[in-house]
Amino acid sequence: MQYHLNGFVPGNLQLSESVRSKLSRQKYKQIPEKTDVLIIGCGPAGLTLARQLSVFPEIKTCIIESKPGPLLFGRADGVSCRTIEIMEAYHSSELILKESYWLNQISYWDTDNKNQNKIVCTRRVNDPRIGLSEFPHVVLNQARIHDLLLDGMKNSSSQLEPNYNCELVDIKFNKKTFNDPSKFPITATVLHKKNKKSYKKKISARYIVGCDGAKSRVRKKLNIPLIGDSSDSAWGVMDALVQTNFPDIRIKCFIKTKNHGSILVIPREGGYLVRLYIELDELENKKGISKENINLDQIIETAKKIFEPYDFHIKEIPWWSVYEIGQRVASSFDNNVDKNSKIEFPRAFIAGDACHTHSPKAGQGMNVSIHDAFNLGWKLSSVLLKRTNHSILNTYNMERRAVAKNLIKLDKEFAKLVARNEGKNNKSKKNSSRDIKQYFEKQTGFIAGTSIQYNSSLITKRKSKYQNLAKGFKVGERFHSHKVKRLADGRILHLGHINKADMRWRLFIFCNNSSPFKKQSKLQKLMEFIYKSSTSPVIKYTPKNYDVDSIIDVVTIFQHKNEVSIEQMDDYFKPKKGKYKLRDYEKVFTSIPEKDIFKSRKINRREGCILIVRPDQHIANILSLDCHRSLPSFFEKIMLPIH
């Protein structure tokens, strides 16, 4: 799928260029007086959070954006494996894979030792992220990710749409009602520009989430400082349509030269567009560097010098900017001062660039922002629908701030490697592209988002004594998908794709290798407990007249050696659902001999196990098949009794 041949045209790539070039006017929406959640900002964090909340019409959500309409030219481009897994949970992965550029290879270039005015390719390798997920690492305009989230919001049961031209002015908190979940302790004043006039309006909210960027007004109103510093390293970035004979222009490249600085080359979707990150250390008067006082021609000339002796002629630049590298993380991601309090719970949160800033070269800005919101979204939804204890909201700061601190550490180290010299005195060691390659491979799991492991908390039992039953599924990490066969129809599919963003917990039951249907087998006893016992979390927390899997979904995976058939399955494995009480045949799977999930994920064949998976796809706990007490014990500290 190719596009941008005759120039960059933004918008939905399923539409023709002539249609995309005619930008539709934004409709003005009515701003509510009351809302459960007020989201400030339509960046990737804000839209991901709104997309999650929009699934539930019972939750009133309002999202505002100061800009006049949706993003057209995205600053972020890399889409990590983990982000596509999340977008699959929103039923949006196929379009990303169809439109995006797949980063399958990386090449490394250095100054030729024999000719200082020439660059040479020192190595070309496969992207080390291949195999970390069923999805690749890709490049796609950030605006298209926004489009998919906006479409999902609009097509949801709540039909949520943003309020554009609406700016946050002030926030007031009634701290006396903070700990009463039924109250609306937040009053936000917004300025709404409508038909060339401006109107101030007050919105009462239960919760507010600042997804309003590095200069977040929400963060400032909460008096939360950004901790960190900025370096003296400046970089230019531009999307360009280029005429060149450089052979690796369609491969991700790290180019390091001894005399002219460095460039990171990111091929863009469509076959022609390319993004360039250009080191500006060689420019004079670098102090106070910004888009206002740096000439674009200077950046282009720097790029040409780095690419020598190859031809390099820019034909069009849809977007460009200059940035100074700064690594900062907020002291807190919520308003709760006492992080250990069991009584207090946060009412205000920040996510995305509002709570962490860093350079874009590692491709983490949009990705980590989406992951922040995906973590917070299910927790807010669960609390607002009175399914879980509000104390789970305290885990957002704990889990995501730890990730942000690791991200800042990675970004500082990576920035030093990519820059021309380490240290300001220019006497320290000069790094080559080999150093970049080695560091990138070392950190590839974190960069891909697949090795993030949350610490022990109310909702995650890192020190599970049953971890050895499934060594390939680490408690705290996301559920690493694997192909299995659906028993009812023989279809081969990814087990992880069951984990949709529907706020359901899931029990993945991996059967042992004994006869599963004997009355005294561990599997039979477990299924009887789950669906019959009054202490079972499925029975205890599922409201009457709800489908049996509406709160906790139970999925069973047999070993291919068990030789089971759908005829052998009793009602536990294919429960009746819906108003017609139709049976659900899509909850039973078997491993595939040639791609055995039990072998790949190191699951104990003799014992089997239960995986408890959170609504955000992270593994909360691992239990044995006979843990009839531990299973309800885990949930009773999290879930609320049925009202």
Task: Decide: residue 353, CB within 10 A, 0-12 exposed, 13-18 middle, 19+ buried.
Answer: buried
3-state secondary structure of 131: coil
* Tens-place pLDDT, residues 291-305: 567 789 989 999 999
Name the band, by pLDDT with cuts 50, 70 and 90, for residue 71. Answer: confident
- Structure tokens belonging to residue 64: 């505002």
Q: Of all residues in the chain, what percent are helix, strand and coil, respectively (each to 5)?
A: 25, 30, 45
**Predicted pLDDT of residue 555:** 98
- Say if residue 65's pLDDT is above 50: yes
- Say if residue 431's pLDDT is above 70: no
**Predicted pLDDT of residue 16:** 54
What does the pLDDT average to over 71-90?
89
- Structure letter (DSSP) for residue 32: P
**Predicted pLDDT of residue 511:** 96
3-state secondary structure of 26: coil
H/E segment holding residue 49: helix 44-53
**Predicted pLDDT of residue 343:** 60
* Tens-place pLDDT, residues 349-394: 999 999 998 876 666 889 999 999 999 999 999 999 999 999 999 9
- How many residues are given for the chain? 643
- Say if residue 26's pLDDT is above 70: no
**Predicted pLDDT of residue 434:** 78
- Structure tokens belonging to residue 300: 């282009």
- Number of helices (H), then strands (E), belonging to the chain: the values are 15, 26
| Residue 359, CA distances (Å) to 267, 288, 322, 400 in order | 18, 17, 11, 18
Strands 115-126, 105-112: pairing kind: antiparallel
Q: Going by C-beta distance under 8 Å and a sequence separation of 6 or more, which residues neighbour residue 176?
A: 185
Contact yes or no for 257/306 (Cβ under 8 A): yes
Superfamily of domain 31-101+142-226+329-401, CATH level 4? FAD/NAD(P)-binding domain (3.50.50.60)
* CA gap 418, 621 in Å, rounded: 39
What does the pLDDT average to over 433-456?
86
* CA gap 320, 223 in Å, rounded: 32
What does the pLDDT average to over 130-143?
92
Say which range, 86-95, 418-427, 468-477, has the weakest mean pLDDT: 418-427
Q: Going by C-beta distance under 8 Å and a sequence separation of 6 or more, which residues neighbour residue 189?
A: 168, 169, 170, 171, 172, 200, 201, 202, 203
* CA gap 494, 491 in Å, rounded: 10
Say which range, 336-340, 466-470, 510-514, has the weakest mean pLDDT: 336-340
* Tens-place pLDDT, residues 316-335: 999 898 877 678 999 999 99
Q: Going by C-beta distance under 8 Å and a sequence separation of 6 or more, which residues neighbour residue 150?
A: 47, 70, 161, 162
- Say if residue 601's pLDDT is above 50: yes
H/E segment holding residue 46: helix 44-53
Domain(s) of CATH 3.40.30.20: residues in the chain: 467-636
- Say if residue 422's pLDDT is above 50: no
Domain(s) of CATH 3.50.50.60: residues in the chain: 31-101+142-226+329-401
Strands 197-210, 101-102: pairing kind: unpaired
**Predicted pLDDT of residue 5:** 65
What's the start-to-end Cα distance of the chain, in Å? 52
* Tens-place pLDDT, residues 209-244: 999 998 999 999 999 999 987 665 678 899 999 999
How far is C-alpha 579 from the geometric centre of its chain's CA atoms?
Answer: 35
Q: Going by C-beta distance under 8 Å and a sequence separation of 6 or more, which residues neighbour residue 261?
A: 278, 279, 280, 281, 282, 302, 306, 420
- Structure tokens belonging to residue 134: 């069923």
Name the band, by pLDDT with cuts 50, 70 and 90, for residue 344. Answer: confident
**Predicted pLDDT of residue 228:** 86
**Predicted pLDDT of residue 427:** 43
**Predicted pLDDT of residue 22:** 55
| DSSP per-residue string spanning 587-605 | SEEE-BTTB-HHHHTTB-T
Mean residue pLDDT across the chain: 89
Name the band, by pLDDT with cuts 50, 70 and 90, for residue 425. Answer: very low
- Say if residue 430's pLDDT is above 60: no
* CA gap 39, 577 in Å, rounded: 35
CATH assignment of 467-636? 3.40.30.20
| DSSP per-residue string spanning 43-82 | SHHHHHHHHHHTT-TTS-EEEE-SSSS--SS-S--EE-HH
Contact yes or no for 149/71 (Cβ under 8 A): no
Name the band, by pLDDT with cuts 50, 70 and 90, for residue 428. Answer: very low
**Predicted pLDDT of residue 3:** 63
3-state secondary structure of 433: helix
Contact yes or no for 322/299 (Cβ under 8 A): yes
- Structure letter (DSSP) for residue 309: T
- Say if residue 421's pLDDT is above 60: no
Contact yes or no for 592/482 (Cβ under 8 A): no
Residue recorded with tokens 């069923």: 134
Answering whether pTM is above 0.75, one says yes
**Predicted pLDDT of residue 76:** 76
* CA gap 503, 155 in Å, rounded: 18
R_g (Cα) of the chain, nearest Å: 26
